[in-house]
Amino acid sequence: MKYLNFIPKILSLSILMLVLNLQSVAQKLSESTKISLITIAPGDELNDAFGHTLLWIYDPSNGIDKAYNFGGYNYETEGFYVKFVRGQLPYQMSYAPLYVYQEYYQKHNRNMTEQVMSLGVKQKQLIYDDLERTYNNPSTRNYMYKFFSDNCSTRIRDALMLACTDSVHLHNIPAMNDSSYRQWMNKCLLRKHHYWAAVGMNAALGAPADKRILQFDACYLPENLMKSMAAARRMSKHHVYYFVRNTQNLFPTTPVDDEPSFFLTPRFWFSLILLLTIYVTFNDWKKRRKGYFYDKIVFGIIGVFGWLLIFLWFGTDHGVTNYNKNLLWAFPLHIPIILMLSEKKDARDYWYGYYFIVMGLMIVMGLFYVIQYSLDTVPLVLVLLIRAFYHAAFEREHRMTKAKFRKIIKGRKLEVIHYEHENGIE
């Protein structure tokens, strides 16, 4: 019966936790409470390129000054880097007085825009209670971040929409409709001149990023949420009001636009590789060489990258790296197939002809896809296309001629047809 001695302690602890929870949730806001959407401008670093959003609740009568933030994570999380790469790192909700964020972002020259929301007392209380319940419950305070659908901006958008139910209507902004997640992402990356990141992220994203979205989903970006709220209307007592009562910049900033040198951009380096490929291919054709050494370097690197795309598809939980059409040109089986090619291989073995014909067709399809979202990547894809077409159609000694193709289709044994023989030269 000794375990009965613990019952009073357990009951006392439970009652204490219940009282503390009720106090945090049931704290009544005063009529002077202000709820503001705080939008932080994009920064120069890649992780800051998309901006940030806070929801500030300020009630001086009750001593409440909480700017809620859904974009934090704990570096002490076990297996931090593995979980981050695999899209399994939990993000955290937190809050701090607004001046803490002001000091930080002013130091980093990032503008902060405050939009004071036109809300009733009941709606303010609903938002505050919901945020406090979310924060006080560890299972809801942490969440699995999704770049397009569940982030610092969408969480605040949903909190505002939930509290106001159907009384808020997003006024249509034509420029924010009929774009894709990828297109909005590219606007942010290119505006801050993250050209290399744009190449890598576009290559890593799959079909979900190309979904056509309307204004509501475009609010996954803080800037789009700010514009949507500025144009939104709210119905109250048969009257229509703007959802945002007033707007102000919290401190002055000096915009800095550091355009990188063209010689440091992927467009320059990929174009340089394209010119080198044209030169190497012309020399191979002129000297009647196969040039497999160059192919092993180019196709080998792209093949490794293809396996990385496969990992992002099947080995992570990001959700936006699935069904990646870039695998048409970044084909994983370049490794090991390309390593099997040899200059000294029996010339009667024409299996590589099939390989380069199929690869050429796949690369063409991949090129049409790449053109739509990343012109910087086009020269790199053209490098693969030139080498594939060279071996399949233009290689002097071993090109895939019509006669050879007919023999392959009929299953007849091929003999080597030298370039001199074809032109009647002995």
Q: CB–CB of 331/306 below 8 Å? A: yes
Q: What is the pLDDT of residue 20?
A: 45
Region of poorest pLDDT, from 83-97, 228-242, 411-425: 411-425
Q: Highest mean pLDDT: which of 230-234, 304-308, 397-401, 421-425?
A: 304-308
**163-222 pLDDT tens trace:** 887 778 888 898 898 899 999 999 999 999 999 999 999 999 999 999 999 999 999 999
Region of poorest pLDDT, from 68-82, 84-98, 269-283, 400-414: 400-414
Q: What is the pLDDT of residue 199?
A: 96
**CATH tag for 25-177+214-249 (out of 2.60.40, 3.90.1720, 3.40.50, 3.90.1690):** 3.90.1720
How many Å apart are CA 84 and CA 91, to the nearest integer?
10
Region of poorest pLDDT, from 133-142, 250-259, 283-292, 337-346: 337-346
Q: Model-level pTM greater than 0.95?
A: no
User: Does the pLDDT of residue 115 top 80, yes or no?
Assistant: yes
> What average pLDDT does this structure show over 243-266?
90
Q: Quote the Cα angle for 250-252-258, to 5°.
A: 125
* pLDDT-based confidence at residue 339 (cuts at 50, 70, 90): confident
Q: What is the pLDDT of residue 8?
A: 44
| Cβ-based neighbours of 288, under 8 Å, separated by 6 or more | 396, 397, 419
Pairing of strands 142-144, 212-213: unpaired
User: Does the pLDDT of residue 378 top 90, yes or no?
Assistant: yes
> What average pLDDT does this structure show over 138-142?
89
Residue bearing tokens 């576009």: 202
> What average pLDDT does this structure show over 248-252?
92
Full strand arrangement of the beta sheet holding 142-144: 142-144, 90-96, 64-72, 52-59, 34-40, 112-117, 244-249
User: Does the pLDDT of residue 14 top 70, yes or no?
Assistant: no
* pLDDT-based confidence at residue 404 (cuts at 50, 70, 90): low
Q: What is the pLDDT of residue 99?
A: 95
| Identity of the amino acid at 382 | L
User: Does the pLDDT of residue 1 top 50, yes or no?
Assistant: no
CB burial class (10 A; 0-12, 13-18, 19+) of residue 407? middle
User: Does the pLDDT of residue 415 top 70, yes or no?
Assistant: no
Structure tokens at 277: 């490929």
Q: What is the pLDDT of residue 271?
A: 97
Q: What is the pLDDT of residue 17?
A: 46
Would you kindly state where each structural domain of the chain is located, as residue ranges? 25-177+214-249, 262-422
